[in-house]
Amino acid sequence: MFKKILVAVDLSEQDIAQPALDAAIKLADAGDGQLRLVHVRHRLPSSPISMIATDLVSDQEKFFQNEMDRLVTKVGFAKERLSAVELAGTVYAEVLHEAKKWGADLIVVSAHRPSMATYLLGSNAAKIVRHSDCSTLVVRADKTLSLLD
């Protein structure tokens, strides 16, 4: 079984992330594994940063940290085997970097229903699957999962 499961969560769309989180919890419970929740917020472009009040950037950081803290407290999983990190950058690159740094043996991500834009541009989930050094589970947000039931 998987011992270190990294779960990419979008804190601005937690309903879409929930099926992936549920699957990761079941897998971690089955193998007495650890969970690491990862949220990546987009960096603001550097050129307009000088025009944006530093309070706005700080407020964004605080907002997502508070959202992560709330998610961690409501997750039905052993707190001693649960960790979370809030990162900034490109979603797929940061998730892959964190997975490698933490030593994850599984990455779990949610995915929207494919659209034409996804086919043309690619999605974060697709990039994570293509470039990951470990196994990856993509959970469709609109599907019910009966994993290990």
Give 2-30 pLDDT, tens digit per residue: 999 999 998 888 888 889 999 999 999 99
Counting the structural domains of the chain, the total is 1
Q: What is the CATH number of the domain that holds 78?
A: 3.40.50.620
69 in a structural domain: yes
74 in a structural domain: yes
Q: Which two tokens stand for residue 95?
A: 């998730």
Q: What is the DSSP string of the chain?
A: --SEEEEE--TT-HHHHHHHHHHHHHHHHHTT-EEEEEEEEPPPPHHHHTTS-HHHHHHHHHHHHHHHHHHHHHS-S-GGGEEEEEEES-HHHHHHHHHHHHT-SEEEEEEPPP-HHHHHH--HHHHHHHH-SSEEEEEETTS---TT-
51 in a structural domain: yes
149 in a structural domain: no
Give 78-99 pLDDT, tens digit per residue: 999 999 999 999 999 999 999 9
Give 44-72 pLDDT, tens digit per residue: 655 555 555 566 667 778 888 888 899 99
89 in a structural domain: yes
Distance, CA of 143 to CA of 30 (rounded, Å)? 21
147 in a structural domain: no
148 in a structural domain: no
pTM of the model: 0.82
Q: Which domain holds residue 50?
A: 4-140
146 in a structural domain: no
How much of the chain, in percent, has pLDDT values that exceed 70?
77
